[in-house]
Amino acid sequence: MKHIKTLHKGTLKDSLKNGGCGECQASCQSACKTSCTVANQACQKQ
């Protein structure tokens, strides 16, 4: 494409099928303790 370059094809919908194992880190246990950011957590399955 000339005008748009896709850098990441999101998979949020797909993750609905095989996600939810709950093994990832609780966000508030990491650095913040006040302002959680979930998107920076890593998936334990990957």
Partner 1 sequence: MVHAFEMNGFYIAVDVNTGSIHSLDRITYEILKAFPYDFSADKAIQMFGEKFGVEEVKEACHEIEQLIEQGMLYSPDLDQPLLMRQIENKSGLKALCLHVAHDCNLTCEYCFASKGSYCSERRLMPEEVAFKALEYLAQNSGDRKNIEVDFFGGEPLINFEVIKRAVDYGKELEKQYNKKFYFTITTNGTLLDEEKIDYINEYMDNVVISLDGRKSIHDAMRYYRNGKGSYDEIVDAARNLVSRRGNKSYYIRGTFTNRNLDFSEDVFHIAELGFEEISIEPVVGGGQPFHITDKHIPIILDQYERLAKRILDYIKAGNKLKFYHFNINLYGGPCIQRRLVACGAGFEYLAVSPEGHFYPCHQFVGQPQFIMGDVFKGIDDPKGLSEQFKRCNILTKEKCKDCWAKYFCSGGCHANAYYTNGSIDMPNELACLMQRKRIECALMMEVALSLESA
Footprint of partner 1 on this chain (CB under 8 A)?
A: 1-13, 15-16, 18-44, 46
Calpha distance 27→39 (Å, rounded): 9
> Which is nearest to 23 in space by CA: 10, 42, 36, 40?
42
Q: Tell the smallest beta-carbon distance from residue 33 to partner 1 (Å).
A: 6
Longest dimension (CA), the chain: 44
Q: Tell the smallest beta-carbon distance from residue 37 to partner 1 (Å).
A: 6
Q: Tell the smallest beta-carbon distance from residue 17 to partner 1 (Å).
A: 9
